[in-house]
Structure 1
Amino acid sequence: MSHTAHIPSHRKPRRSASKLALRAGVAGGVLSTIAVAGAAGPASAEPVTETIEMPTLGSLGTELSSAVAASAEASQQEALDQSLEAQEAAALQTAAKEAKKAKAEADRKAEAERAEKARQEAEAKAERERAEAEARAEAQARASRDSARTQLSTTSASSDSGSGSSNDSGSSAGSSSESTQVSSGTAASIVAFARAQVGDAYVTGGTGPNSWDCSGLVQAAYAAAGIDLPRISYQQSSMGTSVSLSNLQPGDVLYWGSRSGSYHVAIYVGGGKYVGAQNSSTGVVERSLDWDPPSGAVRLL
């Protein structure tokens, strides 16, 4: 019996030369091994009657296909692993860039906050220094005004003493006449008092000593010279004699509005200027007549 008698014949589709050569080599190797084994046996050995099942070309093709498939799967898995590694590396790089950008933005914001804080502290310091300077200036101005008031009071007392002596030596008719006249220094006293209040605050209804409204200041200035005036502005402008704005004298009372219905008064101090308690924004100021021209004036001296 031939050793290949049991190898069935198969008709397979045409295969590539490399694959057929591979399979022929495998089959040849198996047959050579069997032949050598038979020749080496004893001469009296009985003929081999065992049937040897040889692998068929079909089974070899299946195994080869499985190996190729496994290799392809391994290559695909390796490519997938490499792709995942590349994606992870890209993600790490992107995360690093974003972290760097976020840190730079945080540093920028922190620097901006430090700069803003420094600016606010500088402004607060400047505001404190300005307030302190204003307080010192106000204290100096107040001291100057107090000194002027003291001097004015001394001058007024001296004038009153001189007038009293003169009245004692005169007749009763002369005394009556002197009481209706004003000494030559009265206008100067009124002007000096008014100017001594420049810088004081304006307060509605204020009558001093450090805050005034317009009629309160005029009343106090005339009172310092020994002359009593009504408290209300329209009452003050209704007194005395009306004078032209082109013929003003220091001590004249200026008014705004009509003479009998004025809403604001001030004192003319000479040189085309007046002193008045204007408003809460300016307080007591000395201004040119052109700054706020009055409606008219009255002379009470």
Structure 2
Amino acid sequence: MKIGVAGLGAMGSAMVARLMEVGHEVTVWNRSADKVKPLADAGAKTAQSPAALAAACEAVISILTDGAAIEQVYNGPNGLLSGDVKGKLFIEMSTVAPKVETDLAPKVRGKGASFVECPVGGSTAPARKGQLLGLMGAEGDDAKRALPILEQLCRKVEHCGPVGAGAAMKLAINLPLMVAWQAYGEAFAIARSVGWNSKRLVDLFTESNGGNKALTARAEMIAKMLDGQDPGPTTFSIANGLKDLRTMVAAGEALGADMLATKAALSGFEDAVAHGQGGGDGSQMTAYWSSRKKK
């Protein structure tokens, strides 16, 4: 199948590699050309604009930074919807507020195309292996049409409801993890006073009721961080976590919820970014806050 991908961040690039691996003809577009070249060298075709990407493909996946980027890429002068896209399928996979997706859906359908949202749980490693968790929001027929593609990217695709439901569920699922990274940093600030080495400390946490799957998966990486060593490549950055936390607070407050724990974690992430930690993996919060002194 001819599939286009707009947005070649870490996740988008991993998805492109996966789609090519399973036999699709993939065309890519990204605002910065430096992210296009590695995929072009690996066999992906390239498009000079979102409009050209949509024209060349039967289905288009978008995975972009935020609502403003989605608006520009879809509805800009050379956007995905600027040409004739009747009959095409658009799968929007960004992590954004539900309203972004519910506002976009009628614009896509108004052009005679199908629209599905499917933000995903997981990082670059499962994305590369087709092991993400898909959180789909779509009408029934559109969902059936998108499912064969999504099942090649995901170990499970959960149809959460109509468009907007997937975005809401993605924010809800990510929220405890973002709060947990802040909490582990504060917990380690207490626990490190005992004098254990970092590996022993992290291993104990993974065996406790306070340990979650993400901590277990990143235990070796976190122990290195606590020791001031290079933990390896970032899979989901603190800066992206900050963006998501802001969206979570706004989404919750729009529903009348008082997002106390989320706001506390947001403050922690804001502090980390302000002190130059934004490019680090989200789990770097465990090391940053375990060693940061009270002002």
Larger radius of gyration: 1
| TM-score, normalization by structure 1 | 0.21
TM-score of the two chains, using structure 2 as the length reference: 0.22
Higher relative contact order (CA 8 A, sep 6+): 2
